[in-house]
Amino acid sequence: MTTDKNIPVHVSIIMDGNGRWARERGQERVMGHIAGVKSVRACAEESVRQGVKYLSLFAFSEENWGRPQAEVDALMKLMMKSLSDEVGTLMDNGVRFVVLGNRKRLSETLDSAITQLEKMTEGNQAMTLIVFLSYSGKWDILQAARRMAEEIAADPGKVVSPEDFDSYLVTAGIPDPDLIIRTSGEQRISNYLLWQGAYSEFLFTDVLWPDFHEEQYRAALDEYAKRDRRYGKVK
């Protein structure tokens, strides 16, 4: 593990380009998602080695439910398979596993398999791996606003700070991402961590997600280490 480097506490990745990776090889899109699981494992293991405490991954957005049903089904099946395949690796590496998003839209089978893995890994402390599933930033802000409004109705004089609002988001208790990486050359936020990413550093790379492994991840951490974060102030 590198110790003299400015290591981000929380790295978040918009994993993009699986479909294009598969198409370039004349394969079905799902082959790109399957290959993408290897990149998930590579980045998770490298995060533990580098001392990154939170790695979060945008795996499936609220909007992704609108993809062809066959692809949605394949992605959910892959998620289910990955849960059982990766239990050992998560436990061996001391990784806590958490899924955040609109879990009501997941099948009961998937949701309970996730809950089981979350419980099994809840004592692990080396790193937290967060998978955003059926998540969108606007959905998160709305559900937080609704819950907060209910409490304010009971106490109309209550003053609310941004930190108070944080506690209603699904990411409550998780530090905001220091670095958000998006693969595949697209340069947009796509309704991801809209509130939490207010001061994140962004890194866009042309590398497609299935080709993003330890080496590319380390290069991203090196780039982050050179950034000068001022949070709107003067240094």
Closest approach of Cβ 128 to ligand FPP, in Å? Answer: 14
Q: In what order do the strands lie in the sheet with 95-100?
A: 95-100, 127-135, 54-61, 10-14, 179-182, 201-204
Write 63-69 long-range contacts (CB < 8 A, 24+): 63/136, 63/190, 63/191, 64/134, 65/105, 65/134
Each residue 153-192 as x (binds ligand FPP by CB under 6 A) or -, in order, gives -------------------------------x--------
Q: How far is the CB of 64 from ligand FPP (least distance, A)?
A: 6
Q: Which is nearer to ligand FPP, 8 or 210 (CB)?
A: 210
d(CA 195, CA 55): 17
Residue 108 φ/ψ, nearest 5 degrees = -60, -35
- Least Å distance, CB 214 to ligand FPP, is 16
Q: How many angstroms separate the CA atoms of 129 and 98, rounded? A: 6
Contact 93, 45 (CB under 8 A): yes
Decide whether 82 or 191 has the Cβ nearer to ligand FPP: 82
What residue is closest to ligand FPP based on CB? 19
Per this entry, what is the length of the chain? Answer: 235
Place of tokens 């533990």: 48
131: contact with ligand FPP by CB under 6 A: yes
State which residue, 56 or 168, has the beta carbon closest to ligand FPP.
56
- With CB under 6 A as the contact rule, the residue among 10, 33, 96, 182 that binds ligand FPP is 33
Q: Which is nearer to ligand FPP, 79 or 193 (CB)?
A: 79
Is the C-alpha dihedral spanning 95, 54, 82, 132 positive or negative?
positive
31 binds ligand FPP (CB under 6 A): no
Please tell me whether residue 17 binds ligand FPP under the rule CB under 6 A. yes
Q: Which stretch binds ligand FPP (CB under 6 A): 53-61, 102-110, 119-127, 157-165?
A: 53-61
Please give the positions annotated as active site: 16, 64
DSSP state of 93: T
Does the protein bind ligand FPP through residue 101 (CB under 6 A)?
A: no
- Can you read off the two tokens belonging to residue 115? 């809950």
Q: What residues line the site for ligand FPP (CB under 6 A)?
A: 15-20, 33, 36-37, 40, 57, 59-60, 64, 75, 78-79, 82, 131, 184
